[in-house]
Structure 1
Amino acid sequence: MNVIVVGGGKVGYYLAETLLEHGHKPFVIETDKEICRKIANNLDIPVINGDGTTLGALESAGVEHCDAFVSVTGQDQVNLIACQLAKKRYGVERTVARVNNPKNLKVMKRLGVDIPVSSTDSIARLIEREIDVATIKRLLSINRGEATISEVEIPKNYSRNGTSLMDFNLPNECVIVSITRGDSLIIPRGNTQIFSGDKLIVICRNEYLHQLLHALRIE
């Protein structure tokens, strides 16, 4: 998924690096030229030297087409304004703001930020979970939340319609238990094909759920 990250400091750098490792496409907006150069050179991702609270910088980063918008600067006011612009002007579905002062958590939420986060280490996981929720319906947690039984619905106009399971590079930590197609229940084998509208019941360790979606090409 495409994720715009406002703020390229330690938190922004870590977040961009983590998203990149997980197969996402981060785009960073940062005011400091040296930090921009460092991120571009080390991570080889698009970086804009600009202010994330300005329309010009946001549009240059492709805010109209991003799946999630995250502002993680050291200033709560900047993070709030950036998220409000992304949400209200460009219709971004998921906005995440780093909250440096925990007292501002409720204010951020009340003023339109979807996910205000004070624990920076959990931001990457939160983004993936919120984006995936539209595709994955979690049915049951297993082993104290270590894994999940979930339903994954294959979208309409599926790009890999008719592809056999053996041709997907599925994570080893995920198992497709059954496929519901209309009124039929299918116990899948390697040559079982996947079609638009199918509903897959999967058992998967939570940290591999997004990799499963990536492998199925339904991010």
Structure 2
Amino acid sequence: MRIVVVGGGKVGYYLTKTLLEHGHEPHLVETDREACTRIADELDVPVICGDGSMIDVLESAGAKGADALIAVTGRDQDNLVSCQLAKKVFQVERTVARINNPKNAAVMKQLGVDIPISSTDNIARLLEREVDTAAIKQLMPLARGEASLSELQIPPKYRLNGITLSELRLPEESVIVSVSRDGRLIIPRGNTQIFSGDKILVVCANSAVRELSRKMGIETEDKK
């Protein structure tokens, strides 16, 4: 997925590196020219040198058509503006803003930022869950936030229509709890088939959510 990262400091650099390693297509925006050159050479990603709170710069960074924008500069105000422009001008579905002052979290949320957060690790984890696996909706955190109870919506024209759970070879860190189909509750077994429109209740470790999405064939469907 194409993800615009605004801010090329330590947070932005390592976040971009992580996204690249996870198969995403990050585009980085940074104001410092030396940092732009260094990051472009080290990570081999598109780097736009400019102010990420400007419309023309975001447009050059590929905000139009991007799946998400993550603003991680050292200024909360700039991060807010970048996220607002992404939403209002470029219709970016998901925005994430780094918060340097925790008191700004509620304001950020009220002003339209989808995910205001203050930890680099949490940004990467939430991105995996909220963007890359958009078909998986978290219902309840478990095990002190290390796992979650989630609902997985099987999309129309599901390419694995009719496949059984045993054939999917799901990650060991996941357990299918139930399958809902046409108002009926199905207790899953190995020979239970999965069809378009099914809603699946699953317990999964956060570290295995992306693999679960891939095994279920949802990730590919979302990216088409």
TM-score interval for Structure 1 and Structure 2 normalised by the shorter chain: 0.7 to 0.9
**Cα drift, residue 121 of structure 1:** 3.4
Secondary structure at 1:157 match in 2: coil
The answer as to 2:200 corresponding to 1:194 is no
What is residue 186 of structure 2 aligned with on the other side?
185
**Cα drift, residue 70 of structure 1:** 0.9
Which amino acid in the other structure matches residue 147 of structure 2? A
What is residue 216 of structure 1 aligned with on the other side?
216
Instruction: Name the stretch that deviates more: 194-203 or 86-95.
Output: 194-203
TM-score (norm 1): 0.80
Which amino acid in the other structure matches residue 147 of structure 1? A
What is residue 174 of structure 1 aligned with on the other side?
174
Secondary structure at 1:19 match in 2: helix
Q: Which runs of structure 2 are paired with 1:19-168 in the superposition (5 Å)?
A: 19-131=19-131, 135-139=135-139, 141-163=141-163, 165=165, 168=168
Which amino acid in the other structure matches residue 173 of structure 1? E
**Cα drift, residue 178 of structure 1:** 4.3
**Cα drift, residue 155 of structure 1:** 0.9
**Cα drift, residue 192 of structure 1:** 5.5
CA contact (8 A) 2:133 2:213 kept: no
For 2:32 and 2:59, locate their aligned partners in 1 and report how far apart those are by CA, in whole Å. 19
Which amino acid in the other structure matches residue 83 of structure 1? C
TM-score (norm 2): 0.79
CA contact (8 A) 2:174 2:212 kept: yes
For 2:74 and 2:137, locate their aligned partners in 1 and report how far apart those are by CA, in whole Å. 35
Secondary structure at 2:23 match in 1: coil
CA contact (8 A) 1:179 1:188 kept: no
Cα distance change, pair 92–139 in 1 and its aligned pair in 2 (3 A): closer
Deviations 1:55-105 (A, max 9, x none): 222223322222221111122232122111111112223222222234443
When the two chains are superposed, the root-mean-square deviation of aligned CA atoms in Å is 2.9
CA contact (8 A) 1:178 1:188 kept: no
**Cα drift, residue 152 of structure 1:** 1.0
Which amino acid in the other structure matches residue 67 of structure 1? D
For 1:38 and 1:168, locate their aligned partners in 2 and report how far apart those are by CA, in whole Å. 42
Secondary structure at 1:201 match in 2: strand
For 2:174 and 2:78, locate their aligned partners in 1 and report how far apart those are by CA, in whole Å. 40
CA contact (8 A) 2:178 2:185 kept: no
**Cα drift, residue 166 of structure 1:** 5.8
For 1:143 and 1:22, locate their aligned partners in 2 and report how far apart those are by CA, in whole Å. 24
Unaligned runs of 5+ in 1: none
Secondary structure at 1:150 match in 2: strand
Cα distance change, pair 158–143 in 1 and its aligned pair in 2 (3 A): same
**Cα drift, residue 3 of structure 1:** 1.7
For 1:170 and 1:61, locate their aligned partners in 2 and report how far apart those are by CA, in whole Å. 36
Cα distance change, pair 205–105 in 1 and its aligned pair in 2 (3 A): closer
**Cα drift, residue 132 of structure 1:** 6.6
Instruction: Name the stretch that deviates more: 167-176 or 114-123.
Output: 167-176
Unaligned runs of 5+ in 2: 220-224
For 1:127 and 1:119, locate their aligned partners in 2 and report how far apart those are by CA, in whole Å. 12
Deviations 1:83-141 (A, max 9, x none): 11111112223222222234443443343323322333322223334337852244555
CA contact (8 A) 1:67 1:93 kept: yes
CA contact (8 A) 1:170 1:212 kept: yes
Instruction: Name the stretch that deviates more: 30-39 or 67-76.
Output: 30-39
